[in-house]
Structure 1
């Protein structure tokens, strides 16, 4: 299940926001209170996603944007290189970790 990570701002903790996230198939979760590191991770993702995906999307209306998000998230996780993952995509990085664990006999 996909998670919708946000900080603890009132708008993100609101029942309506949680209901909308669940309606979209997302599980709303929040960063730990007083955790600037977690907030930084979330903010970094948002900035990268806006820069590399949203800025290139047709943004004529909300429905058009929402229809484009699944492909954008798939690309972000399957193809997009991440500097923190040695320029591999998250899925590529996880497959490599699993392969190494299997080769070393670690489960």
Structure 2
């Protein structure tokens, strides 16, 4: 690495900064379609382990994006809905102003 260089790592990759001079490391959240699966998997591992190392705002954004893509996939491939129902999950979509997004319930 050279001075002024930017190193970008995918979501969930352990990282540490060692430097003989002052350095700045900033956490990044990758809200790209190509990185959503990795971001979700990393967040799920954090949730299961009880070690949340993320920010609440970024989790809300990630959940909203995943919901959007999930519903888009269901609309494009209706057969998936049958598979989900066979797994005993139900999609609950509400027009209520108190609920901002659909929920997946077991």
TM-score (norm. length: structure 2): 0.30
TM-score (norm. length: structure 1): 0.29
Q: Which has the higher helix share?
A: 1
